[in-house]
Structure 1
């Protein structure tokens, strides 16, 4: 869920314990509602070491037709955050096996006084503006094996968009400009250009390549008077999904990112070169 998403980038995934009900009783409409009372991070060795008291989640996703769909999700995590997520996507078919897609998505978050407000650079006891609003618009042109996406993302409010530390999961940011950096610091604006190639069209089924460049600016750096810092990331990923045999659906991803910032603390990472290899092996039970 966009408002409660466990981290899956470690050998042991983050997990939540609770109840989630999903309904497909109405055609093209998905409804979800749930309550979770435990949250364990990948590095934890004890159940609920993250001390989640209570998280309510709810939401709906509706497919209007083959071109248009929209969704809304909400979460209320006791003593931490109130969060709402809205998205809408439209795909316009074009001639010659091509299409043009548009997507808008955004979060509205109210951080409660006890929440982790890391990007604010101020103590958690602050009582002034604890609101954050982050949204992004992207458009993608696809033709055959190729697609090009452009995206703009903007972050406003008294603090930056923070997630994970407030028991909402380490992947609770469903926005296009999220790679090694999420480009979600206080006041930050960012633009992205992405290219995708599906090599299945060149007789290598299951092999895909993605490259992207993201530039962010107008960052309010934590604990300083700097309000115009910038960061930039060059992202590359090659992925392969096994098509048949006993390892069918096994997915291997090789990723390399170069992240640079103008001022220390602009993105929380510093200048970083990241190399990662992911192997996802789904196990099917009969």
Structure 2
């Protein structure tokens, strides 16, 4: 990884700040030992350990394109355009989890039914739905639909669990994404091993994804590519905490005939938030083509470096991100496999792009209102250059606004403000209400365009058993 001069400067600032304030966050080394207890030895049994509950989420989004840009939809067989798009969906998850049977090898199961009710069914409003509202081939909203979001069997020995079937999985490369009314999930086999005190291992082989806004399973494809599909995703990695103040994560993945991708992440904490705490974060991805190269030639190094300062209720974060490669930093669609600091409404991941973000947040618990938070941020990306791209995965020359070869010195900027509140007690305890407003402005060939969006999301958890 080649760090730019700005990234090196941020690291230097981090070092200087570390020496300027008292080291109240322990920097002690954490020895690796066997886990003190066995989760399987404490199994309650298939029935005694069962639970039934879930969440219901009201998800509303209102978008508006500007500077002459428009959404396209069909009405009476004719293409029409409009600057506005609205999506409003109620998503509900009913999740049943059994306990593990007792004995050396425990067996359990997890089943979750997902249901969506579309509250705004106007064809003109939803504009074909995309990954927000499920629509049929004519662009009409599917008013109500359900599916099995999770359906798996688990086997556990000591602190190691093998899961087979439709499931959630979380790593820096393959990660369930839950930013719509319903989340995604993956079909395959995975394991999670926590046999050591500060070291855990994860891995999985997946061949299908259950998308956020689709009823059926789909093959994996890339977020930014031209629709090419892959039959298999394999991933393996570990999480390691060598010091009380330092957490690291290393993962690798093979996406068949797409790419090999490697991820390293580290977070270091220093100081005391009552005076001044410093959090430094590094995320790095290396991506290279493999197999039949359905996504073309890829040789991409992308990283982000963040520096966060916290004083009591207030936090201020600076994040620098850089893409080194003539193609997008790409990741799997219907996953959250992008842990970069500047992945916002825009991912700031275009070829050779550099970006910088400043974010401020305040936690009102310090002022007597626990659960209430506010945040604001500004991010800017520049230096986008795709003129040296020689593949076909991201559009033919002149075919679309997102064709990389048309991007020469493109730039863009994003502003956002948000507030959230989590109810602290009573029958609606843990219910969260989140409102955000984002504006994104872009030069002519930057792919994300000019758009404003307001979202209001209310999530209510519930327990039955």
TM-score between the two structures when normalised by the length of structure 2: 0.55
Secondary structure of the residue aligned to 1:104 is strand
Residue 90 of structure 1: how far off its partner (Å) = 1.2
CA distance in 1, matches of 2:259, 2:234: 11
1:56/1:283 CA distance change after superposition, 3 Å: farther
Seen in structure 2, the aligned counterparts of structure 1 residues 62 and 114 have a Cα distance that, compared at 3 Å, is same
Q: Does 1:199 align with 2:364?
A: yes
- Answer 1 or 2: which has greater helix percent: 2
CA distance in 2: counterparts of 1:223 and 1:133, whole angstroms = 17
Looking at structure 2, the residues matched to 280 and 196 of structure 1 have their Cα atoms a distance apart, in angstroms, of 21
Partner of residue 4, structure 1? 174
> Is 1:22 aligned to 2:203, yes or no?
no
Structure 1 residue 214 and structure 2 residue 404: aligned? no
Aligned ranges for residues 26-175 of structure 1 at < 5 Å?
A: 26-48=196-218, 50=220, 53-94=231-272, 96-112=274-290, 124=295, 126=296, 129-165=297-333, 169-175=334-340
Shift of 1:223: 4.2
Post-superposition offset of 1:240: 1.2
Alpha-carbon distance in 1 for matches of 2:365, 2:305: 28
Please say if residues 56 and 75 of structure 1, whose CA atoms lie closer than 8 Å, have aligned partners that are also in contact: yes
- After the TM superposition, which of the residue ranges 248-257 and 229-238 deviates more from structure 2? 248-257
Query: Quick one: structure 1 residues 284 and 161, their matched pair in 2 at CA, closer, same or farther if it must change by over 3 Å?
Result: farther
Structure 1 CA distance for aligned equivalents of residues 424 and 414 of structure 2: 32
Distance 1:175 1:285, change over 3 A: farther
Whole-Å Cα distance in 1 between the matches of residues 235 and 354 of structure 2?
A: 28
Go from structure 1 to structure 2 and tell me whether the alpha carbon gap of 1:52 and 1:282 turns closer, same or farther (over 3 Å shift).
farther
Kept in 2, the 8 Å contact 1:138–1:151? The answer is yes
**Structure 1 pair 144–115 and aligned structure 2 pair: CA distance change class (3 A):** farther
Unaligned runs of 5+ in 1: 117-123
State how far apart, in whole Å, the 2-side matches of 1:285 and 1:69 are. 36
Between 1:251-260 and 1:237-246, the stretch displaced more is 237-246
> Which residue is 2:167 aligned to?
none
Distance 1:246 1:136 in 2: 41
Aligned equivalents of 1:185 and 1:113: distance in 2? Answer: 24
Aligned to 1:121: none
Aligned to 1:269: 448
CA RMSD of aligned residues (A): 2.1
- Partner Cα separation in structure 2 for residue 144 and residue 280 of structure 1: 27
Q: Structure 2: which 5+ residue stretches go unaligned?
A: 1-170, 221-228, 387-402
Matched, 1:230 2:411: yes
Q: TM-score, normalization: structure 1?
A: 0.87
Radius of gyration: which is bigger?
Answer: 2
Q: Quickly say closer, same or farther: Cα 1:247–1:114, change in 2 above 3 A.
A: farther
CA contact (8 A) 1:199 1:205 kept: yes
1:240-259 map, 5 Å: 240-259=421-440
Paired residues in the alignment total 271
Residues 1:65 and 1:218: Cα distance change in structure 2 (over 3 Å):
same
Select the structure with the greater relative contact order (CA < 8 A; seq sep ≥ 6). Answer: 2
